[in-house]
Structure 1
């Protein structure tokens, strides 16, 4: 029997005095595209950050690719796109340099030979091959988000975890992202993605998990859009008052945890 790509069992997480996750179970099988939905403060970002090793659980277990979360997890086979981190933050870098930083992890402290080619190929996957040498602070917000997605893709992951990847980006960038994801999913990529709305990704989602107050209240067929939320011209804007603040731009670098430091993710 094939092990699940992500297996979360009875997960509890406290952030300060807040009991954010309250016994969450979540299984994502290889090849699935699972949307994680719920209102602001429901625990979505806390869940994915715990899955990828940014936050520590209070209780419960997390297995990734058949390994208990920790040093034995093959982190180079897992890509992560955090919420609302600007690719232009910190020291100015080119798009290719930001993408290449995704090749670094605790087992590799220097860039491999051919990193420029790998970075350009990853940028081509998100439609930005022609912007590889441009400074990221000269790119639009949507283009910067696509650079961060390319950064996760550069390691050719088997599992991709994304936290609101299209929040605040323009429609062309959303469409480009959806087209990229469709190609990757066809190639067998497993995806767990936090969304407020299915939007351009609706056709790719195989299952939806809905959180409410830190508990799973739905695990099954994706919800259908209704009312004005389902209309083409509707712009859905949220305050993004998530339960954990957005991480800083230093999350793009190499840190003590697989993707970003716990200190950055906490108040």
Structure 2
């Protein structure tokens, strides 16, 4: 399945990061296509301006509607996906949103800049996404982690050894602690249960550790979890003797 993602931006070079690592491999294997379009190429201004002062006054500059809308229309000719704007009004991006968007065949991302976009652009936008209640330099900074998070859940992007299903947040929990060689490092050893080869006990240990870690580190996530009877027993055992 070839998934097409088009990104509208003033700084296409910032997305060279996708040519490396896991996403770069997926691009080479034609699992993904990621294109960038320079919004500046669509301006009708002879000086290639894409911004102007806000009506009514105020600090900073606003991205003009014309180059953005014309860029969207050009991309829409070959991409029927939703237009997603990276902006502060949107719902905060999370793993459930990533899962949903990873099932789409085509997506279009619009990166704003300066103090934002002309309000009249919104009629061409299908969805707005935020990465949190803080300010970044431009939409590119938000777009990169969002696209990466979506792409890694597209079938065949990750190998079986890189499965995302046990990663933090996928099932609403933080990931359990992980260890690699050597077995002892400066006096600290790997938990014996991980060396036992007993798959069921290891499963229980991982589940217990994920639950306890989420409760202690991210109580906001833990509150949303429906605990099974086994979950409660595993957490109790973990608290009592750290068996799990």
TM-score above 0.5: no
TM range (shorter): under 0.3
| Greater radius of gyration (CA) | 2
Structure with greater strand percent: 1
Structure with greater helix percent: 2
TM-score (norm 2): 0.26
Q: Which has the higher contact order (CA 8 A, sep 6+)?
A: 1
